[in-house]
Amino acid sequence: MDVLSVCGVILMLSVVFTSAFFQFSAIVWTICVGVTLTVLTVFGFLSITPAILFWIGFILAAAFANLHKLRQRYLIAPLLPVLKKQLPAISVTEREAIEAGNTWWEKELFNGRPEWRTLLAIPKPVLTQEEQDFLNNQVDQLCSMLDDWNIIFSERDLPEAVWQYLKNEKFFGMVIPKKYGGLGFSALLHSTVVTKIATRSISAAVNTMVPNSLGPAELLQHYGTEEQKSHYLPRLATGEEIPCFALTAPEAGSDASSIPDSGVVCKGMHEGVETLGIRLHWDKRYITLAPVATLLGLAFRLYDPDHLLGQCEDIGITLCLIPASHPGVEIGSRHYPMHLAFMNGPTRGKDVFIPIDWIIGGSKMAGNGWRMLMECLSIGRAISLPGLATACSKLVYRNTGPYARLRRQFNSPLSAFEGVEEALGYIAGYTYLLEAARIMTAGAVDLKIRPSIASAIAKYHMTELSRLAITHAMDIHAGHMIQVGPRNFLANLHSAIPISITVEGANILTRNLIIFGQGAIRCHPYLLKESELISAADTNIPELDKVLMKHIGFYTSNLLRNIAYGLSGGRFIIASFKNAKVKKLQRQLTRMSAALALLADTSLIMLGGSLKRRERISARLGDILSQLYLASAVLKYYNDNQQPADEVDYVRWSLQQCLQKIQIACDELFDNFPYRWVGKILSWIIFPFGQAYRAPDDQLHKNIVLPMLEPSALRDRLTQYCYTSNESSDTGHRLNLLLSQTATIEPMLKKVGAAVKDGIIPPNRYDTAARLRMAEKAGILTKEELIKLNEFEALRSEVIKVNEFSFDLAEVIA
């Protein structure tokens, strides 16, 4: 083949590649490829053999793409039975869960072509002045009233004064609109209030957040009749009614759609009048606020054997509101979750008759309960639990950094040891990730989006990151935080984290079944439509053909994009950030978004309905989507903060961490794909030169630790919603006071250390006060410096101390 023919082949392949890469329509690519091939053939740019091969390929491809009637009759129609078998069955409850809520940025990531400018152009979520005032005044006042040690080990409940303050200041009505007597605050404020209270008391935060998330108020706002709203919402806002919502049953936990609790439509007596209603039986547990609730929200399966509401006998899951004082309602005993003091307990009812209009939304909403729950679950997953998770990490960041700098072992600060520095680095990086994800996800809710997939990502990954941050903090504090008492700020966080892991969809379920399982159908541009058309009794063949052809073009485009990105390392992908290192990582996120689109489609094509049963495959695909979402939150947070220079290392660490997790998920997917040869091919396409992403290096890890160890603007930004007490006995107050003095104190300590090293004063390492006195006598320290050092060391000694109790521990918890 001569040079001219080689050039012709290259040009021809470039046109074909470009047409597929940019997913040109069938008619457009047919014209482009056809004209190019004709010109190259007529003017002799192709020798005989390449020309014949290109023409054969072109004619076959063009015929397949453009002869719609023939394709539908001889290909799509005969394939339909096969497609029906391959398609995973979708139950009614699965369909309701899939259709609940909205998709958002996660759909961009799933499709492989994220429009970063669209995300970054969304206005920064901010608090209004009214919300900021509430945070600075009412929330700070509440926090000042909380003594977590007393709440958990003495009262085992919030003090009555705290309950009354919560009611008086409408903490239970933060999300209830003002026209119903609530505060009408944003999701961001709701999240921030939960975060701030949780840095003081997890128990108080849970008691506060539950009435504002999944429960009667949220359900009434979206689905209640106007009569129900007008009656209940003002009473809920002021705390006159304390709500709970009963969903979990002994035999139906994460599988809430299988609840055995039932109600039968019938006629009965209510307030002396025969009324159409429901006779209920239920047995619920783990219900937060149930022991003190005055208003019970209840989920049950409704039956209508006498057809009093219509022709359907099994109406389905239904939600209703029942006053706790109603005859037959059993309520009041409590559970004791992980020794925390928030109210949680069982509720039961047997043969309880209620009027039909106690259904939330009235009788017309009977049977719609599962959809209602799925749509409102995003509130708890997007706001409350991420707020708790972020609070734990913020508090750990704020207090563990100073402790590691002030606590000394082997005559060196703990922070000087690389093992401790490594743990501190994870705390720092996770805190940045958590705050970024918290704000972006809450911001989505304020955009009137119900981000069902994003909220599942936030719930799972943020609670897991919080668990890791707390574990690293426990490793650093060691025995100091094992001993419970008023001095211990970490023990209750450590006890509480398993609760967040298990509630509102256990994390194992969320990762293995929900994130990708629902994400694939909701976020894929064609899958849901294909499923509907294929499963229909009378399939619309032309419409199915149209969707399938678009899907083929989508898959082909993603395949070629992955080949191009893999071979080029993604170097030519458009990125928008000013910092070159951040821009480079942004390109890799686009590259991995394209990889996810290819991997997801390939898995769906090759595994079909069996993918539902292959949870580990689904979980790894979900991990890729999740890490892309978390990385996106980091870029959004960084951009919203005006891309400050002091955050660059945190951004790089976070993005590298996310990309490494994606690498691990991809490698495990390749190695364990049911068809090993498919896994090998995918690996070669996406990572042709082997592993592309590694964990952040030691120097970057060190860089993100430094702001933890000294007063800094970045430290203040990351921990701005930690409650800071001014009480002299508060551990956090002591740590931060000591940290503020280190810049002044450390030069004095260095002078004393140099004097010891030079033999001017003896080491006397076990009596710091004596050593300092000798330094002052030797002229190493001035009298003023001696006073400052003694005061500093006395306060440092208080920080290191742990609580001691009498032998009779019953007195401690009596």
CB 240 within 8 A of CB 233: no
pLDDT over 70 (residue 809): no
Residue 769's CB is within 10 A of a number of other CB atoms, namely 13
What is the token pair recorded at 598? 């290819």
Classify residue 35 as exposed, middle or buried by CB count within 10 Å of its CB (0-12, 13-18, 19+).
exposed
Q: What is the pLDDT of residue 814?
A: 47
DSSP label of 245: E
C-alpha–C-alpha distance, residues 364 and 184, integer Å: 28
Residue 264's CB is within 10 A of a number of other CB atoms, namely 15
User: For 206-265, what is each residue's pLDDT tens digit?
Assistant: 999 989 887 889 899 989 999 999 999 999 999 999 999 999 888 877 666 678 999 999
pLDDT over 70 (residue 561): yes
CB 390 within 8 A of CB 195: yes
User: For 648-703, what is each residue's pLDDT tens digit?
Assistant: 999 999 999 999 999 999 999 999 999 999 999 999 999 999 999 999 999 999 99
DSSP label of 305: T
C-alpha–C-alpha distance, residues 323 and 242, integer Å: 10
CB within 8 Å of 702: residues ≥ 6 apart: 421, 425
Q: What is the dihedral of CA 575, 448, 190, 256, to 10 degrees?
A: -100
Q: What is the pLDDT of residue 26?
A: 75
What is the token pair recorded at 224? 């209640």
Q: What are the phi and psi torsion angles at 61 (to 5°)?
A: -65, -45
pLDDT over 80 (residue 368): yes
DSSP label of 451: B
User: For 387-431, what is each residue's pLDDT tens digit?
Assistant: 999 999 999 999 999 999 999 888 788 999 999 999 999 999 999
CB 233 within 8 A of CB 239: no
CB 54 within 8 A of CB 12: yes
C-alpha–C-alpha distance, residues 478 and 49, integer Å: 74
User: For 124-157, what is each residue's pLDDT tens digit?
Assistant: 999 999 999 999 999 999 999 999 999 998 889 9
C-alpha–C-alpha distance, residues 310 and 319, integer Å: 18
C-alpha–C-alpha distance, residues 756 and 770, integer Å: 13
pLDDT over 90 (residue 440): yes
Mean pLDDT, the chain, integer: 89
Nearest C-alpha neighbor of 801 from the set 477, 585, 522: 477
Q: Is 25 helix (H, G, I), strand (E, B) or coil?
A: coil
C-alpha–C-alpha distance, residues 733 and 727, integer Å: 7
Q: Is 185 helix (H, G, I), strand (E, B) or coil?
A: coil
User: For 499-553, what is each residue's pLDDT tens digit?
Assistant: 888 887 788 888 888 888 877 777 888 887 877 788 777 888 888 888 888 888 8
pLDDT over 70, % of the chain? 96
| Residue 808 Cα distances to 495, 754, 812, angstroms | 23, 47, 8
CB within 8 Å of 109: residues ≥ 6 apart: 523, 593, 596, 625, 628, 629, 632
pLDDT over 90, % of the chain? 56
Q: Which of these is catalytic: 94, 375, 504, 785?
A: 504
CB 648 within 8 A of CB 578: no
Q: Is 145 helix (H, G, I), strand (E, B) or coil?
A: coil
Confidence of residue 88 (pLDDT cuts 50, 70, 90): low
CB within 8 Å of 182: residues ≥ 6 apart: 170, 173, 174, 175, 176, 233, 236, 237
CB 655 within 8 A of CB 584: no
Q: What is the pLDDT of residue 523?
A: 83
C-alpha–C-alpha distance, residues 652 and 718, integer Å: 16
Pairing of strands 329-331, 344-355: antiparallel
Pairing of strands 314-323, 329-331: unpaired
User: For 753-767, what is each residue's pLDDT tens digit?
Assistant: 888 888 888 776 567
Q: Burial code of 342-358, b = ≥16 C-beta within 10 A, e = fewer?
A: bbbbbbbbeebbbbbeb
Q: Is 578 helix (H, G, I), strand (E, B) or coil?
A: coil
Q: Which residue has the tokens 């609760």?
A: 499
User: For 702-727, what is each residue's pLDDT tens digit?
Assistant: 999 999 999 999 999 999 999 988 88
- What is the full DSSP assignment across 760-804? SS---TT-HHHHHHHHHHTTSS-HHHHHHHHHHHHHHHHHH----
- What is the full DSSP assignment across 80-100? HHHHHHHSPP--HHHHHHHHS
Residue 286's CB is within 10 A of a number of other CB atoms, namely 19
227 is catalytic: no
- What is the full DSSP assignment across 673-706? -SSHHHHHHHHHHH-TTS----PPPHHHHHHHHG
CB 516 within 8 A of CB 622: yes
User: For 613-636, what is each residue's pLDDT tens digit?
Assistant: 888 999 999 999 999 999 999 999
C-alpha–C-alpha distance, residues 490 and 477, integer Å: 9
Q: What is the pLDDT of residue 232?
A: 96
